[in-house]
Structure formats: C-alpha cells, structure tokens
Structure 1
Amino acid sequence: MATAVAPIAVQLAPELTLEEVNQLASAGPAALHITITPALAKGLLTQNRRNRHIRENTVNDYVRDIQNNSWPLNGETIKLSISGDVLDGQHRLLAIEKAGTPVETFIVIGLPPETQATMDTGMRRTVADALALSGEANAATVASILRRVWAWEQGDRKFTRRNSPTTTESQMLLGAHPEIRRSAEIANRTRAAFPHIPQSALGTAHFLFNAIDPGEAAWFFQRLGDGAELPSGHPILALRNRVTSERAKEGTVPWARQLTYLVHAWNAVRSDRRLSRLQVKAGTVPTPK
C-alpha cells in the first residue's frame, strides 16, 4: 500500500543570503520562490562540489537570454542537497553570475544527495519542438533555417562555430523576419522536386536571395526544382549536376559547401555568366549579390 506524501508548500522568499538558504536546506525538503542575485549565485557555486563538466556554450546561451530579459519564470527549479550542494542548476547559476543580473526562479532545497542521479534524464525540447508547440507550420524546417540565418548574422560565414541560438533568440529572429516562413515553404517544395540539397540550405539561400530580388529568387528555386528549359552552360544546370554527382560519390555533402554552391550559382545567374561546371574552393561562404 502506497504511503501518502504531503506536498511541499512553496515559500515566497524574494531575497535570501547563502547562509539563510543553507539553514533552510538543512531542515529537509522545501521549495522556494526566490530571486537569485549574482552574489547568491556566486555563493551557491562555491558549494558546487559534485556535478557535470561545464558547457560554456550553454552558459553563454543563458547569459544572452538573461541580458535580453527573456528568461521567464517557467517552473524549472535549481536543486540543492540537504547540505547545500548544488545538485542541478550550475549552468543557470553561472549565467546569473556572468550576466550580473538577478533572476526570479524556483529552487528546491534539502534533497538527499543520491537523488542527483535521477535529474536531467529527460530529453530537452528543441527549437523545432517549441515552434511546433506554438502551432508553427513547417516547424523543423523553420528551426533549421533560423539556426543558419542566426549564424550568418553573427558573422559565421564558415558555419563552424558550435554555438546556436536559444529558443527565445530563434523566436525573436522569426519575429523580426517572418519571411523565413515562406523560405521554409519554398525549401520544402524544392526539396520534394530535387532531393539532393537539404531544406536548411535551400531555405537559408532563399532567405538571402529573396532579400536581394524576390522575383529572381522565385524563378531560381523553381528552375532548381524542375530543371526545365535550362540550356547547356546555365549556372542552375551546373548546380544540379554538381550536387547530384557529389551525392552519388560521397553520400553526404557538407552543409556549408551546399550553401556555397547555391550562392555561386545565384551570383552567376545575376551576372549572366555561363558555367559549364560548378567549381568552388572550401572556406567562407561567399556573399550573395
């Protein structure tokens, strides 16, 4: 027969010192609704004695969201043991300290140390998950384009950096550029007709080209998809032949190279230049013209 367990009441404690938090934790499990100041975060981190390796990219992601005032009170908790050790939440605490900004959150204190083994075992929601939950059509394609457009705007023209936009940053970018939704539609349609370039590269290229000339961008992707009436030496025909041949030989073509091919073909079309073969050098993706 199961034993009934009384629920833990949440105590409102806007600001506490490290000593006060530790004293409360020593009394056993409790939940607090609290504002964690940079000073308190720093103090708690001195009690971060047994935890995972720090992921600097994750900390920096959190810092940007905190500084952008886009860190909502969403029910996620920081967890402390009965002795005050940080069991879960070290990245958030590091971000609060680094951002230099207080954050309102929940913390659960007074937990047995052995409970740490069962924490963070679920699958983290992706940007695509968040977009789908908000009813966004083509959520996976939109998310993949947002990631690359964000990198492009950060100046990463080789797409080799490991950091990615947070969910909030992705949603803000989509708000600033709602036309990315149309780019996702075009990417999915082109991919269905010509399945040799991923939607993320197609959609990113469409977003960049559409900002230069919407009419020519529409024609470019229609011809890329159907290959209709492309004479010998046409850049789009050279593009189709190159990626088809490479996929047959290599199986998978690096993502940045795919975008490089798209930009080279686009620039050749824009300058009315013939291309019998599409040849590019590895490195920075060129700027569309």
Structure 2
Amino acid sequence: MNALSDIAVYLENPPTTTVIIEIDPKTAREVLEKRNKGNRPPKANKVNQFSGDMSSDRWGLTGDTIKFGTDGRLLDGQNRLAACIKSGKNFKTHVIFGIDPALFGRMDIGKPRNPADILHIAGYKYASTLAAAIRWAHLLDNDPYDRSTLQPDEVLRLAKEKYNDIEPYLKYGRDINRQFAHPAGQLAALIYHFSRSDNKKAMDFIRAWLKGDRNGKYQIIDTMQALLHSQKANNNGRIHELTRASIIIKAWNIFKLGQKGSLAQLQSAANTKLEIIS
C-alpha cells in the first residue's frame, strides 16, 4: 500500500499505537487539501526550516507524531506536511490515529498554540481579537489585576458559554483600533461591558468617539482621547493596559451619569479601582 492508502485504512480502524509511514509530497498535499479544515495558519518560518532540513537530508525519524482525530481531521503536523511539499522530498514519521478532537486544546501544550489558534480552529472569525476580548471580559468580571493566563481550552469554553454574545462588539473594537490604535480586543470587551450597563448610552459613547463629536456631553470623550494620546507620547508610544482601561472606564462612568467631568478625574483614574458603574 502507498501512504494515502495506509492513512485511509488506519483512519477507519485506528491502531492503538503509533505507526511509521513514509509521507510523499502527493500524500502531503492530499492531506492538507482534504483533512486540514479549520486548522490554524501554517507558520512560514517553520515550513522553511523543515523544508531545508528535508532537502539537505537532515530530517530524521525523531519520534514526533502527525496526529489525526476520530473525525479524520489532521490535528497536528501541517507544517511538516507543507515542508514535504516545498522540498519535494519524502519523509518518515510516526503517525497516530483516533484522537478525540475535543482534546485538541490540551495537545502539545508546550508548543505555541495559543487561545487565538484554538478559536480559529473552532471556526471563529477575528480569533486574535476575540481571544483578547474574552480575556478582558473575564478580567472585568473577576479581577482586572489578575495576571494569570487563561488556558486555550478555557478561552474556548468561555467563548461558547459565558461570552457567546461578545462577537458583535469586535467590530467596535476593530474600528477604534483602526482610528486610534488602541487594542481592539480590550476595547471590544470594554464596550461589551458598557453595553450591558446601558446599551443605548454605550452606542452613543462609541459613535461620538469614532465620529469626533466632542462638545457638550461628549466633551469628556475629547478629554479622554487627549489624555490617552499624551500617555502614549510620554511613554515611547506605549500605555499600560490597566492605565488605558482605567481612563476609558472613568470617562464612560462620567458620560453615563451625564456629568461634564474633568482632566483631573481621568488622571486620577489609574490610582483607583477599575469599576464600571451599573
């Protein structure tokens, strides 16, 4: 049997141990075209590195595995398969079949598979923005000062369950990012929380920010944006994410209450607890 036939047989009847298969470029292309749906984008630097090793006959049977799920989908190995195609060389590899796709978030935990990768694989659009938005929504609901990292599978769970209504707010975060260069995910989460407090005023707040309305009740938005700009200018183009969140939240709270507000109030925000008024 050739490699394609071997893979087809093992997908139907997964062995309990790994098997060694010699993958040729034709098989690699077939697998990537038909069994790599929804995977994260390949990493060009890895493909180039692996391809160079294969072309120079420096690639060996390392024990690393190519993995297939019980649904027939490729779960790990796309960079090696792409390198096989690029180099035009066969390579031998251990292959494992019959993995539960639900365990993907726990697979290769030491490799740089981040929450955005998992969300992309799960079919979410703007996965990087969504991952950042979920992180910030979670922080705002719990403890904004918590620096622990959400694991990829936990981010996916939150996307499916607790924050399954946050996706529409990604647009606002991305719009603000394009216009003012503030992080889209963080802004999406803030707007999401503002909207839960008062949707009508939240949409007015965002509209005024994007459209440039700065007079009357919108003056606090102008003060906020000017302060954010000066913070970045005074810190080599950077602003701490907690400082940014504090200033924006304080401006929102003032706007929601219908107050004029002042620069001094926003400047002091970084020294007070982050709290979105209900």
> What's the TM-score bracket when you normalise by the shorter of the two chains?
0.5 to 0.7
2:124 maps to which of 113, 136, 144? 136
**Which residue number in structure 1 is paired with residue 156 of structure 2?**
171
1:193 maps to which of 179, 191, 197? 179
Q: Per-residue deviation at 1:239?
A: 0.6
Q: Distance in 2 between matches of 1:224 and 1:136?
A: 27
Number of residue pairs aligned between Structure 1 and Structure 2: 182
**Which residue number in structure 2 is paired with residue 227 of structure 1?**
212
Q: Deviations over 1:124-150 (max 9, x none)?
A: 211111112233111111000111222
Q: Secondary structure at the match of 2:271?
A: coil
Determine if the alignment matches structure 1 residue 10 to structure 2 residue 1.
no
**Which residue number in structure 2 is paired with residue 61 of structure 1?**
none
Q: Distance in 2 between matches of 1:130 and 1:163?
A: 15
1:75–1:202 CA distance, 2 compared to 1 (3 A): closer
**Which residue number in structure 1 is paired with residue 222 of structure 2?**
237
Q: Which amino acid aligns with 1:230?
A: N
Whether the 8 Å CA contact 1:233–1:275 is kept in 2: the answer is: no
Q: Deviations over 1:44-72 (max 9, x none)?
A: xxxxxxxxxxxxxxxxxxxxxxxxxx994
Q: Distance in 1 between matches of 2:272 and 2:203?
A: 27
1:172–1:248 CA distance, 2 compared to 1 (3 A): same
TM-score by length of 2: 0.57
Q: Distance in 2 between matches of 1:75 and 1:138?
A: 18
2:143 maps to which of 156, 166, 174? 156
**Which residue number in structure 2 is paired with residue 212 of structure 1?**
197
Q: Distance in 1 between matches of 2:192 and 2:223?
A: 22
The share of aligned pairs that are identical, in percent, is 19
Q: Distance in 2 between matches of 1:226 and 1:178?
A: 28
Q: Per-residue deviation at 1:210?
A: 0.9
**Which residue number in structure 1 is paired with residue 40 of structure 2?**
none
Q: Per-residue deviation at 1:228?
A: 2.2
**Which residue number in structure 1 is paired with residue 252 of structure 2?**
266
**Which residue number in structure 2 is paired with residue 124 of structure 1?**
112
Q: Which amino acid aligns with 2:144?
A: R
1:132–1:276 CA distance, 2 compared to 1 (3 A): same
Whether the 8 Å CA contact 1:184–1:199 is kept in 2: the answer is: yes
**Which residue number in structure 1 is paired with residue 27 of structure 2?**
none
Q: Please tell me the root mean square deviation across aligned C-alpha atoms, in Å.
A: 3.3
* More helix per residue: 2
Q: Per-residue deviation at 1:169?
A: 1.9
Whether the 8 Å CA contact 2:231–2:239 is kept in 1: the answer is: yes
